Every structure is written in C-alpha cells, then in structure tokens.
Amino acid sequence: MEHVDYSLLDWSRAQFALTAMYHWLFVPLTLGLSFIVAFMETLYVRTGNPEWKRITKFWMTLFGINFAIGVATGIIMEFEFGTNWSNYSWFVGDIFGAPLAIEGIMAFFMESTFIAIMFFGWNKVSKKFHLASTWLVAIGSNLSALWILVANAWMQNPAGMKFNPDTARNEMINFWQVLFSPVAINKFHHTVLSAYVLSSVFVIGVSAWFLIKNKEHIFAKKSMKLAAIFGLIASFLTIVTGDGSARNMAKYQPMKFAAMENLYDGKQNAPLAVFGFLQKNNVESSPNKQDFVFKIEIPNMLSYMAFLNPNAYVPGIHDLVKGNAEHNILSYKERSKKGEIAINSLAEYTKAKKSGNDSVANAALIKFKENYSHFGYGYYANRDVNELIPSVPSTFYSFRIMVGLGFHFIALFLVILILIMKDKVDKKRIILYTALWTIPLAYIASELGWIVAEVGRQPWVIQDILPTIAAVSQIKPTSVQITFWLFFVIFTGLLIAEIKIMVSQIKKGPVEEIPERSQNQINNKIKN
C-alpha cells in the first residue's frame, strides 16, 4: 500500500460529512411534511371544510421553503463523489450510479412536474386533480429517498455485483438484488419513518407556538391532532424497523454492531447496555479500549436483538480483530493477508493478460476469486489492523441518545393526543413549551442516526471491499480545505436563511381564505 496522505483523507471525509449532515437537516422535513400536507388536503377535499384548506396551504408553504434549499445541498453532495472520491466512483460507478440516475430521471422528475400544480394550481384545476398532484409530490419525494438509500445500503452490504478483472471495476449483474437486499429495504423504511417522526414533531412544535401566543386555536389543534397520530404510528414502525436494522448490522457489519455496544469480548447470553459511561483504558494489548465506568444492563437482550436467540454468541471487537477459531471468525491479520493475495493476484492477472500468458492469467484469476471477499483488508496488510475499528464512543453514545429521544417523542405524541381529546392542550403551557423545544431534539436524533450508520462502518466506503484510504481522489489537501470552508459558509448561510424565512412565515400565520364563490367571481372579472 502506497503512502496515505491522511491530511487529504481527513479533509475529504470532513467535507463529505459536512455536506451530508447539512443536507440531512432539510431532507427529513421534506419527506414527512409532504405526506402530512397530503393528508390535510385529503381532509379538505372530503369534508369541504375551508379551515383544512388554510391549514394545508400554511404547511405547504413551509414544505416548499425547505424543499428548495434541500435540493441545493443534495446536488453538491453528488458532485463530491467525482471530485473527492474519484477512485470510489471508478471502482463501483456502474452500480452506485444506477440508483442515483433513476432517482434523477423518475423520482425527481415526478416531484418537479407536479410541484408547480401543487403550489400554483389552486382554483385553476379541479380539487381532485390538485389533491392527486399533492400526493404525487409526496410519493415522488419519498421515491427520491428510496433510490438514494438503496445506493447507501449497497455500500453497507454490496450485493448483486461481480468484479470484472479486465476493467478492475465492479459491475451490476442483478439489479433486483441491489434494490431488494434486506439492508436496502430496512434502511429505506427506517430512514423515512424517522423522517415522519421528525416532521410530526415539527408540526406539533410550531402549532404549540401558536397556542402559546394564544393565536389560531382551531388551526393549531387540528394540525397537532393529525401530526400526533401520524407521528405515533411512524414511531412504533420506526422501532420495528430499528430492530431489523440491528439484526442486519449484526449479520453484515459485526464490527459496527460490536462498537455500537462497546462489546470487546464476545459473549453468549450477551446483555444489552441500556446506558453507560465509558472511559478509555490504554492497555497495550488493546489500544483505545473503552471500559464501562457505569452501566445499566438487560440480561440476554443483546443476543436476542442480534440473532433472535437469547443464548446466541455475539462476537466482540477482540474476536473480530484477533479471530475466534471456536466460532469460525478469521482475525483481521488473516483477512488482510488474504486481501493482499487478492490485490497481488489481480495485478498478476493484468500483467499476464497484457503479455498474452493465458495460463498464468487463469491461475492468478482463480486465486483472486478465492480471496476477493477479503479484498479491502489487503490495504491493511502492512498497517495497524486496529485502524479497522471505528470510533466506539461516537457510535455507543449516539445510538443511546437517539433511542432515548425516540421514546421522548412517543411520550410527547401520546400526551398531545390525550390533551387534544380532552380539549385541554391549550391550558398545559409546560407541555406546549416542551413540544416547541422538542423540535431541535428531533433534528439531533436524526443526525445521530446517521452518525451510527456512517461513523460505525468506518473505515469502509464499501464494506469489506474498499476502505476510505483507497477511495479518495489524489488531489491537493489545500483544494479540499478551501472548498470545505466555502461550503461551510454557503450551507450555514442557507440554513440561517431558511430559519429566518420559516420563522417569518410562521409569524405571519395561515392566511384567510377567500370563499370559493367570491374567488370564482374575481376570476370571472379578471377574464372579462
């Protein structure tokens, strides 16, 4: 392995993390609010109640502001694959690019086509056609998320592909395996459901502000009731899909699972640490080991969570790094040797092919295929294998804070729903303030979920196949540093602008609706 410019690597990772985290500040609200708006307009069309039209238009405006800024950050993130991660793009571009292309052609096209009708088609098209357009925007925005999350899930669990030794690239051989892999299906559902939870918290929090200010009581209560029901359903489904995510992680990314649980030594009947405090313990045999200073455990729960068997053996960080023959776990040194064989065999194959020595080429190809599943570890053949351990504190704390906040959201939805049913929500100011200040907590929980997913799989760009040290573009670190700070200023400016526009729109409140008969008379006068 050639010299690694860690300055370039760290800045490239930091820039992509910056872009992704800013982008994800906008996406969840788009995904969830689009459906909440669609439900609101459905109630308007079914009941004919003009109050639901006011409610729909208000939340639709906030959706539009958020949607526009989210698109800008997303486009920049896709370009970074080519600028900062060109080796990655070359290595798997045929596979990774497919879902992104479909997202642009199908899903984004659907959104952009019907969003104009959604915003400007009031009183210009029929109620049902306008409602259909609103639903298509919601479906389109979530389809966009589907294809992007399929691409991300493939990086976590590469499937449906075959390595072409002649081009040194991975090629897709089964599109349906990429789309319907267990990780892709679960990641899509878990991610969009968590976005629905965030959107519900947002609607409830903003509505609570109106009640605190003693304004728009009917508007606020109707919005809160719908959002609480939507959020409660989404929360329980998020728990189900989160459970599935844990099992997928234990199966396909055991190191991430062990790091998330601070599990260094594998165990049968492994307990789940509900919460705990970690302290670094630099023992020579295990650098950067984290010890529990304090923890609360549930016996056997980790084994059950990972394998649906309370007696199952859950491998720890030491098992994966040092190996465990009893449980057929190869050490990272063994895997790095096999990966080195794969890398050298590929080079030998390429050289033999060029010289026309088919017998040597065929022998090298056989050896390469036998060891390809360890390919990525070959980059660590002469490096410290402890670099393959992700940040334990980051994943451990992020997961637990995220889950804790998730239960807080469920409690909030239940309390809000009960108080609305009893018509007492506007009298409980402590609950209203709690709802308002829960909005930033929802965004924190959302970002923490991605920290678990992405920091936890480091140093892999593609699990077991390509590490970050081999994926980065060979460019000057100063170029990445300059663009990092440039993007930081731009994204921060966009975020501040969105917050200001949102706050201004919220303070303005829902506009009074002109009765439809009067609106028709105005339209006729304009035409005449």
Report the pLDDT averaged over residues 126-133.
94
What count of Cα atoms within 13 Å lies in the side-chain half-sphere of residue 17? Answer: 16
> Please, where are the H alpha helices in 253-299?
254-260
Report the pLDDT averaged over residues 116-133.
92
One-letter amino acid of 216? E
Tokens of 183: 């990780």
Q: What does the pLDDT look like over 134-157, one tens digit per residue?
A: 999 999 889 888 988 999 999 999
Q: How far is CA 187 from CA 191, 238, 248, 397, in A?
A: 6, 11, 10, 20
Say what the pLDDT of residue 528 is. 44
CA–CA gap between residue 151 and residue 172 (Å, rounded): 12
Q: How far is CA 110 from CA 73, 118, 138, 220, in A?
A: 19, 12, 10, 31
Say what the pLDDT of residue 526 is. 43
Report the pLDDT averaged over residues 187-215.
96
Report the pLDDT averaged over residues 161-187.
91
Q: What does the pLDDT look like over 74-117, one tens digit per residue?
A: 778 878 888 889 888 888 888 888 888 888 777 667 777 888 89
Mean pLDDT across the chain:
90
Token look-up 């689009």 returns 34
Which of these ranges, 104-118, 398-412, 426-440, has the smallest mean pLDDT?
104-118
Model confidence at 261: pLDDT above 90? yes
CB distance 257 to 306 below 8 Å: yes
Which of these ranges, 29-38, 61-70, 173-182, 426-435, has the smallest mean pLDDT?
61-70
pTM tops 0.85 = yes
Burial class (CB in 10 A: 0-12, 13-18, 19+), 415: middle
> Please, where are the H alpha helices in 180-265?
182-212, 217-252, 254-260
Q: What torsion, rounded to 10 degrees, do the Cα atoms 334, 253, 449, 92 define?
A: 80
Model confidence at 15: pLDDT above 70? yes
Burial class (CB in 10 A: 0-12, 13-18, 19+), 60: buried
Q: What does the pLDDT look like over 304-315, one tens digit per residue?
A: 999 999 999 999
CB distance 184 to 218 below 8 Å: no
CA 225, distance to chain mean position in Å, is 27
CA–CA gap between residue 210 and residue 432 (Å, rounded): 9
Model confidence at 2: pLDDT above 60? no
Higher pLDDT, 269 or 280: 269
Model confidence at 163: pLDDT above 50? yes
What one-character DSSP code corresponds to residue 51?
A: H
Say what the pLDDT of residue 451 is. 94
Report the pLDDT averaged over residues 110-129.
88
Write the CB contacts of 371 (distance below 8 Å, at least 6 apart in sequence): 338, 339, 341, 342, 345
Q: How far is CA 21 from CA 26, 276, 476, in A?
A: 9, 26, 24
Element holding 489 (H helix, E strand):
helix 477-508
Question: Domain residues of the chain, as ranges?
Answer: 6-253+390-515, 263-389
Say what the pLDDT of residue 385 is. 85
